[in-house]
Amino acid sequence: MRVNDILEMIINGGVPTKKELSELIETFRRGGDIAAEIYERARGVAEALRDEHYGRRVFLRGLIEFTSYCKNNCYYCGLRRDNKNAERYRLTEEQILECCDYGASLGFNTFVLQGGEDGHFTDEKLVSIVSKIKAAHPKAAVTLSVGERSYDSYKALRAAGADRFLLRHESATDEHYAKLHPESLTLENRKRCLYDLKSLGYQVGAGFMVGSPYQTSENLAADLLFLRELQPQMVGIGPFIPHRDTPFRDYTAGGLELVLFMLALTRILLPKVLLPATTALGTIANDGRERGVLAGANVVMPNLSPIDVRKKYLLYNDKLCSGDETAEHIKELAERFSKINCVLDMSRGDSKNI
């Protein structure tokens, strides 16, 4: 099939083979007129699908980066255990609750608690935090992003009131996964976690970085097909950005155009998914998030962490931490999006992919 026909087949609801999808992605990556043509077509369809299911609303989530300690050693991440230059901090339960109160006063109805895999935060501690947030803000959704844990742990957190869970799969190809992570982390366990979370009734978010070292078009095709199979409610996609204190310091960042194309394809393959225009996308281009929204994204996650810790949660170099992506700048954010005819929405914004 010609790549245009592959794209039309997907637009019409067909599921491509891995070979077809990687051919489409590979053609896009080679650039030229054909790449521009397939991008414009995919982007237009993705935008229309987003409009159909969610309108021109961009949902806001308040992000609380509550611990920069991590026991893992992912090769790409600035918070990895072996990075001795990383500044580590933990918020106390009280500080986390204050962040939520502050967020609620600004109008937020979703709180995302994100952190490294930090043994300090036992089930008992997290259960207490989640229960207290839910007691103080019963109508708000609580999203956890705390990495791989046991079924029983996920179960206890769900029972405490956690509504959603973000855990990017990072790469759906075993060999590529193994190039991004040390042996202690496996794709098999990552998938186990994602399916456990789904079975427990969480709204689940998976996802991956674009342009990570060694990533091929076939890897990206496998990522999209895995998402199609998992049927998550959210999908986080952003560019890989090197961090100077990691083994991947000398690799180049993922390209804006490829991220946008992946966002558009994700919207086409999973029309009802919630799709953030990530901070990483806003980091590689000033108008990155607006362009993400124009390619089908519909979520942004402003930072609600206490100001003094924001620069310490450095997953990659030059991560945005003081501009329009912060909770203090919702007005500026609204202005940015109004220029592309989108409105900010601070309701819970549950996924329609249920």
Binding site for ligand 5AD (CB under 6 A): 76-77, 168, 170, 209, 238, 240-241, 243, 280, 315-316
First to last CA, the chain: 33
Window of 71-79, 152-160, 236-244, 276-284 that interacts with ligand SF4 by CB under 6 A: 71-79
C-beta of 78 vs 103, nearer to ligand SF4: 78
Residue 216 near residue 17 (C-beta atoms within 8 A)? no
Contacted by 316, from ligand 5AD, ligand SF4, none: CB < 5 to 8 Å by type: ligand 5AD
Residue 275 near residue 57 (C-beta atoms within 8 A)? no
C-beta of 249 vs 352, nearer to ligand 5AD: 249
- For residue 293, the surrounding DSSP H or E stretch is helix 288-294
C-beta of 49 vs 209, nearer to ligand 5AD: 209
Contacted by 163, from ligand 5AD, ligand SF4, none: CB < 5 to 8 Å by type: none
Instruction: Decide: is 116 part of the binding site for ligand SF4 (CB under 6 A).
Output: yes
Residue nearest to ligand 5AD (CB): 316
What beta strand segments (E) does the chain contain?
57-60, 62-67, 110-115, 141-145, 164-166, 203-210, 234-239, 299-300, 343-345
The nearest distance, CB 83 to ligand SF4, in angstroms, is 9
If DSSP codes are grouped into helix, strand and coil, which group holds residue 7? helix
C-beta of 72 vs 131, nearer to ligand SF4: 72
Window of 14-22, 46-54, 68-76, 259-267 that interacts with ligand SF4 by CB under 6 A: 68-76
Instruction: Round to whole Å and give the CA distance between 46 and 261.
Output: 10
Structure tokens at 236: 């986080």
The nearest distance, CB 241 to ligand 5AD, in angstroms, is 4
Instruction: Round to whole Å and give the CA distance between 281 and 293.
Output: 11
C-beta of 84 vs 139, nearer to ligand SF4: 84
Instruction: Decide: is 74 part of the binding site for ligand SF4 (CB under 6 A).
Output: yes
Residue from 19, 28, 2, 61 nearest 265 by CA: 28
Contacted by 221, from ligand 5AD, ligand SF4, none: CB < 5 to 8 Å by type: none
Which residues ranging from 143 to 162 are in contact with ligand SF4 (CB under 6 A)? 147
Structure tokens at 94: 């009280």
Instruction: Round to whole Å and give the CA distance between 228 and 34.
Output: 25
Instruction: Round to whole Å and give the CA distance between 10 and 19.
Output: 13
Residue 61 near residue 112 (C-beta atoms within 8 A)? yes
Binding ligand SF4 (rule: CB under 6 A), the pick from 80, 169, 176, 243 is: 80
Count of positions on this chain that bind ligand SF4 (CB under 6 A): 9
Instruction: Decide: is 276 part of the binding site for ligand SF4 (CB under 6 A).
Output: no
Residue 242 near residue 317 (C-beta atoms within 8 A)? yes
Contact positions toward ligand SF4, by CB under 6 A? 70, 72, 74, 77, 79-80, 116-117, 147
